[in-house]
Amino acid sequence: MKVNVISRKLIKPSTPTPQNLNKYKISFTDELSPPMNISVILFYPSNPKPILIEESLAKILPQFYPFAGRYIKKDHFVDCNDEGAEFVEAEAFNVELFDLIANTKNDQLNHLLSRQSYQVDNATDPLLSIQITKFKCGGLVISVTVSHTIADVSSIGTFIAAWSNANNPPEGDKTITIGPSFNSPMLFPGKNLENQMEQIKTRDPNIVVKRLLFNKEAIESLRSELNGDDGLFISRVRVVSGLIAKALIGVEIAKHGKSKACVIAQAVNIRGRTIPPLPKHSCGNLAIPSVTKTKDNHIMGFHELVCLLGGAIDKTIADCAEILSLGTEDGCNVIFQSVAKMNERSESGEEMKVLLFSDWSRFGFYEADFGWGKPIWTGIGTMPAQNVTILMDNKEGDGIEAWLHLNHNDWPYLEQDDQMKLFMIA
């Protein structure tokens, strides 16, 4: 696929940001986020309606005022100077949209992004970058890329919902008010922490990403493998995460001849889970990792892993309820301790492999109608780290598409897993 950029410009907010909001000090949870961009990609079929979305973008940017600013790394704040969001128009006329969807390989979708994951946090880098790519068939793709320093994927979902509604307002009693809030720095004040995570400067050629599709029938079949009637009530995300974790541990066994201890971390959205609950459309980084460890020389079955991961998530959700009542210092400490667990060593003192799962389902991406219908598919930009699994909704909303990022040397081992073969589509 060859993508030609036609134009590149900055879209400024339709009204200026008030002076009292011109410095957005990032929160403690923002400081703990990896220095990278995250991207969501929306695919739309052919539609005769004209594309008029720049005005609606300018219209909603005052609500998302940090997104139109620039991050000042040394001072840990966003200069909300209204410099604008990046807006790129492109075309890809050597491939059909449906062929691309059916035959997406590895990091091919990155060509649909205006900014890669590693192009981030320099003084001139836009915090929000959008690319509209038109196809010969009349279809188009919208990619939305945001710096993880100021936003998580829930924040992207809020932004896309607000933007699509502004461009194509619901009629009558279907009107939906989306009011983003940027209060996380008050709840979790920043500590001017220097990010300890290495910032990747280029794409890692050793990372290969492939998709696995778990449709409704597949998930029901996997649930039936779990002991007792409780399996019927285990979420699709937990079922899929448990199966993939089991397979990745199997890769380690195949490589080393034994089971080695590893850390399994799952991002938990704290919105709606604190007391009082944070609003659904709170923006910023408002997720904390649920972390558990496996032991050396202990081979875990599917059911055992699902229970282990589910128990860790349930404990983290229970911790979320207390975070706000503990006060800012103790609340931040709970979050920091969760992150610190990801860097713990095994009982033998060895550094452990981290398997990271992030649930991007149920953020409404398939509802984003800009006026030419809802997406027929959604995708992501490649993550800059190995052993990362991003879980997305399928179009029907009852299954999971798992985007699995592994070292290219590990894929042959995983592809020998007879059960995982059933779900590989790319």
| Lookup: tokens for 34 | 């990896």
Region 4-187: CATH code: 3.30.559.10
Q: Catalytic: 111?
A: no
Of 76, 148, 281, 405, catalytic: 148
Of 125, 204, 296, 369, catalytic: 369
Place of tokens 């339709």: 14
Closest CA to 213 of 403, 396, 411: 403
pLDDT of 341 reads 86
| Lookup: tokens for 302 | 């599917």
What is residue 11's DSSP assignment?
Answer: E
The CA distance from 126 to 148, in Å, is 12
Give the Å distances, CA to CA, from 260 to 75, 254, 300, 341, 345: 41, 11, 11, 17, 12
By the 8 A CB rule, do 58 and 389 touch?
no
By the 8 A CB rule, do 240 and 422 touch?
no
CA dihedral 302, 308, 309, 311 (to 10 degrees): 140
pLDDT of 196 reads 63
Domain boundaries, the chain: 4-187, 207-421
* One fold for 4-187 and 207-421: yes
pLDDT of 334 reads 87
DSSP strand E in 249-286: where?
A: 262-269
The CA distance from 100 to 309, in Å, is 35
Q: Catalytic: 369?
A: yes
Question: pTM of this prediction?
Answer: 0.94
Is 207-421 assigned to CATH 2.160.10.10?
no
pLDDT of 340 reads 86
Output the 3-class SS for 227-248. CCHHHHHCCHHHHHHHHHHHHH
Write down how long the chain is: 426
pLDDT of 79 reads 97
Instruction: Compute mean pLDDT per 10 residues along the chain, 426 residues long, and list them.
Output: 94 97 96 95 86 92 98 95 97 91 89 94 94 92 97 98 91 72 94 76 88 95 78 86 95 87 94 92 96 86 93 92 86 87 73 92 95 95 95 95 96 94 85
By the 8 A CB rule, do 151 and 185 touch?
no
